[in-house]
Amino acid sequence: MADKKAETNNDQVYDLSNRVSRSVIAVIDTVVQRGGFRGEELTTIGQLRDQAVQLVQVCEANRAEASAK
């Protein structure tokens, strides 16, 4: 029973992480298209976007692994 609850909680965390990361990527891409960042901010913004992409990849891999079970 505890394993099922932990699995449900993990699924919720992965789902939320996936949605938040996709939103972060969309916001960054939109602001960049509008020229909303100064040059000195681009490294930090790029790193944040890269981290969000990595998190989406982890979430997708988790979803694929769960589907294979």
Does residue 50 contact residue 8 with C-beta atoms inside 8 Å?
A: no
Give the pLDDT mean for 18-26.
97
Domain range enclosing 42: 6-68
Does residue 20 contact residue 51 with C-beta atoms inside 8 Å?
A: no
Residues 18 and 41: their CA atoms lie apart, in Å, by 24
Which tokens go with 11? Answer: 């699924």
Residues 45 and 54: their CA atoms lie apart, in Å, by 14
Residue 15 clears pLDDT 80, i.e. is over it: yes
For the full predicted model, state whether its pTM sits above 0.75.
yes
Does residue 23 lie within any of the structural domains?
Answer: yes
Tell me how many domains the chain contains. 1
Which of the two residues, 67 and 43, has the higher pLDDT score? 43
How do residues 52-63 score in pLDDT, each as one tens digit? 999 999 999 988
Does residue 57 lie within any of the structural domains?
Answer: yes
Does residue 20 lie within any of the structural domains?
Answer: yes
Does residue 56 lie within any of the structural domains?
Answer: yes
Does residue 1 lie within any of the structural domains?
Answer: no
Residues 68 and 66: their CA atoms lie apart, in Å, by 5
